[in-house]
A and B are shown apart, each in its own frame.
Chain A
Amino acid sequence: MEQPNWPIFQLAQQKEAFVGQVVVDTLKSLEDTHLISGSYKRILEKTVYKERTRIKKMPWAVDPKNESKKWSNYKSQLTKLYSQSSVAESPKDKEYDILKAIVQDYAREIMGHFNYKTYKFSIRAVPVFLNRILNGISGRLFFGFFQKKKRFRDKIKIQGDIDLIKSLEKKGTLVLVPTHFSNLDSMLIGFAIYLIGLPPFIYGAGLNLFNNKIVSYFISRLGAYKLDRRKKNAIYLETLKTFSRVALQRGVHTLFFPGGTRSRTGALESKLKLGLLNTVIEAQRNNYLNENQQKIYIVPLVVSYHFVLEAPGLIKQHLKTQGKEKLYLEREKFGGFFKTIRFIYKFLSKGSSIVLSYGKPIDVFGYYVNNQGESIDQNGQKLDPQQYFTSSQKITTDKQRESQYTNALSDKIIKEFFSLNIVLSSHLVSFVAFQMIKKQFKDFDLYNMLKLDNEDTAIEYDAFKNTIERVCARIKALEAQNKIKYSKSFEFESDTLIAHGIKNVGVFHPKKVLFIDKKGRVNTQNMNTLYYYHNRLEGYMLDQYV
């Protein structure tokens, strides 16, 4: 079969050239930022110290075997270098060599294994694989009780102007910025990109995901590059940012989770990682500097689930670390083989659908674009974003200026997230239930509230229904102002809507998020997860309507 001329494919073919450019560019920016009185001593010593600590304290299965030896070697080289009073060799050259070697290793590690043939195979294998499991298990366990034909893609509902996104894909470079709730996100979004007919995107996947062989197999073939959150040293972070920037400059469509990590609280992202976002602005500026008119388009994406497998763990972590600046250690395991299968099975076997809401593409300054890829301002006029990079009619590099543009872009993406957010019935019922309990226990702080027994948390059904109707009306009013979206279930009658929400919210958690108790009241078995699903509607000032 003929291979298309996708930039991601070119990147895979020219891996060495690409890594080479990343190394050169990274060294350049390290020179700008970390060369202190002609020496890299500080950053090198700090990095070596941090890496040796990491290797000792947080070893993972994916780590290369010779890592420990390598860093010990760097350490002794540095000690030797800085202790000698007279050196034959210029210390400046020597330390540059060490720096270069470290950057090279990092760049190679980050680079993924994308390959067109395995991509084709994997993207087809994902749904087949998932369907096999689903149909196999369902056939045996449920005696064909539910439809064998139920397919993975039927579970995924996609909204947004897909045609516009597809037409921009050919004109410029796309950056997909989704919300992040679950480890399933990257696989799911990768598949959804394929479903709507876009070429593959590269994206940074946490190195911990590569510990699981199945997950690792798929994601690395679906365009993942490796991102190690344990490595917080300046050299690594610079290499990572440069990697992302250089890929964008080469026109490779990129996906990154701008929140950096999964939402711990279940709320929409309200703070984004500015470092990575900044690379988008820099890439656009470099394109213009190199007289390349290729534009970068940012596509926000909000994913809505009724059920997030990790919810109990995530919210627990959040509650534990809240208020303390405690470094949370990323867990190594995504879960073993059976856990993964069980999750996927659970996920697919019942009506737990997923909604993906694609936003309107924007340029790096937050302006919407038409199907010619031209930026359109708030008054409907075309504008030339290149001029935002000019001083006295020349395109210049001004990091302080660009950091302000990054802040503005971050604000815009967050705003888009909120307006793209699709409220599901399960979010609505959790929000109302939690807020009603909160109102009843006004004097309690959050922690005491979460400890409430379900003797105390029962809500009379009629009052619940009334509140649902009020909040629902408000959500519909907000929708009319394009400030939020809601799912089809909102068109049901209140009783049906409530039943739908209660049935679906966190459907497979062992402790029920919501249920109707013997006395016909709405109640919960787990305040923590109720709080988690409730958070999805934070930030819309809906509590006034409870």
Chain B
Amino acid sequence: MSKTKITYGVMGAGVFGSVIANLISQNHKALIFSQREDALKAINIHKQIKGIQIQNNITATDDPAYFTETCTVIFVLVRSKDFRSKIQNLSKFLTPAHILIHGIKGFDLKDLNLDNLQENKSIYRDDVFTMSDVIEQETVVKRIGCISGPNLAAEINKGELAATVIASKFNEVIAIGKRALSAPNFKVFSNPDIKAVELTGALKNIMAIAAGAIDGLGYGYNAKALLISRGLSEMIWIGKTMGYSPNAFLGLAGIGDLIATCSSPTSRNFTLGYQIATEDTDFKKQEDYSKEVVEGVRTIQIINALAKTYTFRAPITQTLYKIIFEKMPIKEGIDYLMHFPLHKDVDFLEG
């Protein structure tokens, strides 16, 4: 099988989509699917989108039939908020032969509305879906994978040293993902536990908000390290409650990603946390954030609701929820966390 014959599909013409397409283009052809006219123009004509240079062997199309006929392997990189509807739209063009690999860290609630959650309604584990669940529910595709890890788009695009994890129940999907993405400066690790990898990726967004807040309050590296280690512990406990082993959390997609997002001030999650800490009387801005853009806020809402239903403790998440939604002053939140009766350093590896 000659490598050059395969064209890999990329769904989503955002920054991450373009960066992944560029990564693929080092060894193969890539076809981007987008239904935004400006994006098509930017890719096909200007060869540049959102400040990212697009390689010559990358084209874009808005024709779903052409896209799915050309590409058997498709990377899905659209925001979690639009994920289900975009997959639904593509669904009738997808066949059992297709392989879908997504790179989205977040949860989907199907028909449940997050804003109704406050009104005493319980949500259950079965109401919360990862993106691979969404693909399974909406399409006939069974061979599903996910990429996750410390993948700051700008750094990857510059060709700086980086790595990612590809997770799938299917060895076949892992091999295909590796073949598509591996490059001299980009290493691809594998993990068979796709659900755990998706979960850790989503939960890490919560900690990124907390990290922003720590920076905003002017604390130093000690505090940040405290957050990262306690944050990891909390993530693992949530994962355990949901029935997953800690392995994925301790890998590149877990702690690796956690360190990167908690250190880099560029992410939306981090920025939101920073703003909460620095302008703590102005909640208007956060309101905009919580509804639209910031993935971590949705995740906080979901985990907070799950913690209520199943009565487990997730102190960092629950405190962030109180700060964002119940107007708890941030100082009080930090104070609460510092007095939280936890003393054991590592307890998540036991039992």
Of B167-175, B204-212, B271-279, the one with at least 4 CB within 8 A of chain A:
B167-175
Knowing A365-B142, A379-B91, A392-B1, the reply to whether A400 touches B172 (Cβ < 8 A) is: yes
Using an 8 Å CB-CB cutoff, how does the interface string of B147-185 with A read, 1 for contact, 0 for none?
000000000000000000000011110000000000000
Evaluate contact between A391 and B172: CB separation under 8 angstroms: yes
Instruction: Compute how far the CA of A400 lies from the CA of B92 in the bound complex, rounded to whole angstroms.
Output: 27
The one of A378, A379, A388, A391 that contacts B96, using a Cβ cutoff of 8 Å: A388
Of A33-41, A272-280, A401-409, the one with at least 4 CB within 8 A of chain B:
A401-409
Evaluate contact between A378 and B172: CB separation under 8 angstroms: no
Residues of B within 8 A of A392 (CB): 1, 72
Instruction: Compute how far the CA of A388 lies from the CA of B140 in the bound complex, rounded to whole angstroms.
Output: 10
- B193–chain A nearest beta-carbon distance, Å: 13
- A296–chain B nearest beta-carbon distance, Å: 16
Knowing A377-B140, A379-B92, A381-B92, the reply to whether A401 touches B172 (Cβ < 8 A) is: yes
Tell me whether B35 is interfacial, beta carbon within 8 Å.
Answer: no
Knowing A378-B137, A405-B142, the reply to whether A400 touches B96 (Cβ < 8 A) is: no
- B266–chain A nearest beta-carbon distance, Å: 37
Evaluate contact between A387 and B95: CB separation under 8 angstroms: yes
Evaluate contact between A404 and B169: CB separation under 8 angstroms: yes
- Per the 8 Å Cβ criterion, residues 267-325 of A in contact with B are none
Q: Using CB atoms, name the residue of chain A closest to B1.
A: A392
Evaluate contact between A384 and B96: CB separation under 8 angstroms: yes
Residues of B within 8 A of A379 (CB): 91-92, 138
Using an 8 Å CB-CB cutoff, how does the interface string of B33-71 with A read, 1 for contact, 0 for none?
000000000000000000000000000000000000000
Evaluate contact between A401 and B95: CB separation under 8 angstroms: no
Chain A contact patch, size range: 20 to 34
Tell me whether B97 is interfacial, beta carbon within 8 Å.
Answer: yes
Instruction: Compute how far the CA of A108 lies from the CA of B105 in the bound complex, rounded to whole angstroms.
Output: 55
Using an 8 Å CB-CB cutoff, how does the interface string of A389-426 with B read, 1 for contact, 0 for none?
01111000010110011001000000000000000000
Evaluate contact between A384 and B95: CB separation under 8 angstroms: yes
Instruction: Compute how far the CA of A388 lies from the CA of B170 in the bound complex, rounded to whole angstroms.
Output: 12
Interface size on B, residues (CB 8 A): 16
- Per the 8 Å Cβ criterion, residues 345-394 of A in contact with B are 365, 367, 377-379, 381, 383-388, 390-393
Residues of B within 8 A of A388 (CB): 96-97, 142
Interface centre among A378, A400, A404 (most CB of B within 10 A): A404
Instruction: Compute how far the CA of A480 lies from the CA of B142 in the bound complex, rounded to whole angstroms.
Output: 29
Instruction: Compute how far the CA of A391 lies from the CA of B92 in the bound complex, rounded to whole angstroms.
Output: 21
Knowing A377-B140, A381-B92, A392-B1, the reply to whether A398 touches B97 (Cβ < 8 A) is: no
Knowing A378-B137, A379-B91, the reply to whether A385 touches B96 (Cβ < 8 A) is: yes
Instruction: Compute how far the CA of A384 lies from the CA of B95 in the bound complex, rounded to whole angstroms.
Output: 8
Q: Using CB atoms, name the residue of chain B closest to A405.
A: B142
Using an 8 Å CB-CB cutoff, how does the interface string of A500-524 with B read, 1 for contact, 0 for none?
0000000000000000000000000
- A401–chain B nearest beta-carbon distance, Å: 5
Q: Using CB atoms, name the residue of chain A closest to B171.
A: A400
- B310–chain A nearest beta-carbon distance, Å: 14
Using an 8 Å CB-CB cutoff, how does the interface string of B8-48 with A read, 1 for contact, 0 for none?
00000000000000000000000000000000000000000
Instruction: Compute how far the CA of A397 lies from the CA of B142 in the bound complex, rounded to whole angstroms.
Output: 16
- B142–chain A nearest beta-carbon distance, Å: 6
The number of residue pairs between A and B whose CB atoms lie closer than 8 Å in the complex comes to 44
Evaluate contact between B170 and A401: CB separation under 8 angstroms: yes
Evaluate contact between A398 and B95: CB separation under 8 angstroms: no
Residues of B within 8 A of A387 (CB): 95-97
Q: Using CB atoms, name the residue of chain B closest to A391.
A: B172
Residues of A within 8 A of B72 (CB): 392-393
Residues of A within 8 A of B95 (CB): 383-384, 387
Instruction: Compute how far the CA of A404 lies from the CA of B72 in the bound complex, rounded to whole angstroms.
Output: 20
Using an 8 Å CB-CB cutoff, how does the interface string of B123-146 with A read, 1 for contact, 0 for none?
000000000000001101011000
Instruction: Compute how far the CA of A408 lies from the CA of B144 in the bound complex, rounded to whole angstroms.
Output: 13
- A398–chain B nearest beta-carbon distance, Å: 6
- A380–chain B nearest beta-carbon distance, Å: 10
Residues of B within 8 A of A386 (CB): 96
Q: Using CB atoms, name the residue of chain A closest to B96.
A: A387
Using an 8 Å CB-CB cutoff, how does the interface string of A140-169 with B read, 1 for contact, 0 for none?
000000000000000000000000000000
- B93–chain A nearest beta-carbon distance, Å: 10
- Per the 8 Å Cβ criterion, residues 73-103 of B in contact with A are 91-92, 95-97
Interface centre among B91, B97, B143, B172 (most CB of A within 10 A): B97
Instruction: Compute how far the CA of A37 lies from the CA of B303 in the bound complex, rounded to whole angstroms.
Output: 52
Evaluate contact between B1 and A383: CB separation under 8 angstroms: no
Q: Using CB atoms, name the residue of chain B closest to A381.
A: B92
Residues of B within 8 A of A383 (CB): 95-96, 140
Evaluate contact between A408 and B96: CB separation under 8 angstroms: no
Using an 8 Å CB-CB cutoff, how does the interface string of A438-470 with B read, 1 for contact, 0 for none?
000000000000000000000000000000000
Q: Using CB atoms, name the residue of chain B closest to A389.
A: B96
- A477–chain B nearest beta-carbon distance, Å: 16
The one of B1, B137, B140, B171 that contacts A401, using a Cβ cutoff of 8 Å: B171
Residues of B within 8 A of A393 (CB): 72, 97
Using an 8 Å CB-CB cutoff, how does the interface string of A211-228 with B read, 1 for contact, 0 for none?
000000000000000000
Residues of A within 8 A of B91 (CB): 379
Instruction: Compute how far the CA of A506 lies from the CA of B212 in the bound complex, rounded to whole angstroms.
Output: 64
Q: Using CB atoms, name the residue of chain A closest to B5.
A: A392
Q: Using CB atoms, name the residue of chain B closest to A392.
A: B1
- B95–chain A nearest beta-carbon distance, Å: 6
Q: Using CB atoms, name the residue of chain B closest to A408.
A: B142
Instruction: Compute how far the CA of A378 lies from the CA of B87 in the bound complex, rounded to whole angstroms.
Output: 14
- B348–chain A nearest beta-carbon distance, Å: 26
Residues of B within 8 A of A408 (CB): 142
Residues of B within 8 A of A401 (CB): 143, 170-172
A-B contacts, 19 listed (Cβ < 8 Å)? A378-B138, A378-B140, A379-B91, A379-B138, A381-B92, A383-B140, A385-B96, A386-B96, A387-B95, A387-B97, A390-B97, A393-B97, A398-B171, A398-B172, A400-B171, A401-B143, A401-B171, A404-B142, A408-B142
Known A379-B92, A404-B170; 20 more pairs at CB < 8 Å? A367-B140, A383-B140, A384-B95, A386-B96, A387-B95, A387-B96, A387-B97, A388-B97, A388-B142, A392-B1, A392-B72, A393-B72, A393-B97, A398-B172, A400-B171, A400-B172, A401-B143, A401-B172, A404-B169, A405-B142
Q: Which 5 A-B pairs have the closest CB atoms?
A: A387-B97, A387-B96, A388-B96, A400-B171, A377-B140
